[in-house]
Structure 1
Amino acid sequence: MFAPSQIEVRRFFCSTYAKWRDRLPLTPMETLAAQWIEQHPEYHAELADEEQAVQAVYTVEEGRTNPFLHLSMHLSISEQHSIDQPRGVRQALDLLAARKQSLHEAQHVAMECLGTMIWESQRSGRPPDGHAYLEALRHKATQ
């Protein structure tokens, strides 16, 4: 399992942004990340300053979105969709994207479901419940 540190994740997104901005060749993972970076111009300034990005602290009290968490969730959900894991997530995301008429908006809804699953897991001390995540996503896709 690949488990990069917070600094490695931030450096990855910053270097991907720089390569994308400068139209340099990208690896397949960078290409996927760049697609999401492109859709979030509000993060470009933060991604442009790698050393500041490594030092930045994002707290709920500040009301700032952590761009690295947000982009990481986009990548995670994209991977879930591509391999249909948990089984059924591809269908639920496709249905939600059709309903929202936007893959991007569907992913943001999926992020809410994913975030809830992670929070519940941390709160309860139990492993993440993929079934509950999928059911929440299916519910959002059909409501």
Structure 2
Amino acid sequence: MFNPTRDQTRLFFIDAWGKLGRRELLTPLEAMAADIIAHHPEYHALLEAKDSVEREFPPEDGQINPFLHLSLHLAIEEQLSIDQPPGIRALFDAACVRYGERHAAQHDLLEALAETVWTAQRERRAPDGAIYLARARQLAGL
């Protein structure tokens, strides 16, 4: 199992964004990451800054860690590609219809996934797919 460090994860996003800008060949995963980044113009300057790997994003500052946000998007894309947990793809498709676009539907899943992972870590247990789907359905108003 691939288990990158914080810095490796950050460099992956920075490199993918840089490669896209330089029109270099991207791996399929880098292309997916670059597409996600393209939908987040608020992160572009950060990904181009020299100190972005070392920056801290403490929750008490009231901002989400951009690298965590991008990583959650990437995790959701993987979940959708394999429909895991089962039913996530159908829920997402219904949310896309409701919103009329893909990105807002992804943000419902992202929020539900973040809550599910946080709860599982706090309670020292595995994430519960059923709870994740129920929360995503609730957030999407489905």
**TM-score scaled to structure 1, two decimals?**
0.94
Alpha-carbon contact 2:108-2:140 (below 8 Å) kept: no
What CA distance in whole angstroms lies between the structure 2 residues aligned with 1:34 and 1:54? 17
Give the corresponding residue for 2:32. Answer: 32
What CA distance in whole angstroms lies between the structure 2 residues aligned with 1:141 and 1:11? 32
Give the corresponding residue for 2:121. Answer: 122
What CA distance in whole angstroms lies between the structure 1 residues aligned with 2:73 and 2:27? 17
What CA distance in whole angstroms lies between the structure 1 residues aligned with 2:139 and 2:12? 31
- For residue 5 of structure 2, what is the amino acid of its counterpart? S
After TM superposition, give the deviation of residue 3 of structure 1 in Å: 1.2
Alpha-carbon contact 1:118-1:128 (below 8 Å) kept: yes
* Per-residue CA distance 1:23-49 (angstroms, 9 max, x = gap): 111110001001111111110111012
Give the corresponding residue for 1:110. Answer: 109
Question: Identity of paired residues, percent?
Answer: 44
**TM-score scaled to structure 2, two decimals?**
0.94
Give the corresponding residue for 1:84. Answer: 83
What CA distance in whole angstroms lies between the structure 1 residues aligned with 2:78 and 2:100? 20
Runs of 4+ residues over 6 Å off in structure 1: none
How many pairs align? 142
Alpha-carbon contact 1:96-1:140 (below 8 Å) kept: no
Give the corresponding residue for 2:12. Answer: 12
Q: Aligned-residue CA RMSD in angstroms?
A: 1.2
Alpha-carbon contact 1:113-1:133 (below 8 Å) kept: yes
Alpha-carbon contact 1:97-1:106 (below 8 Å) kept: yes
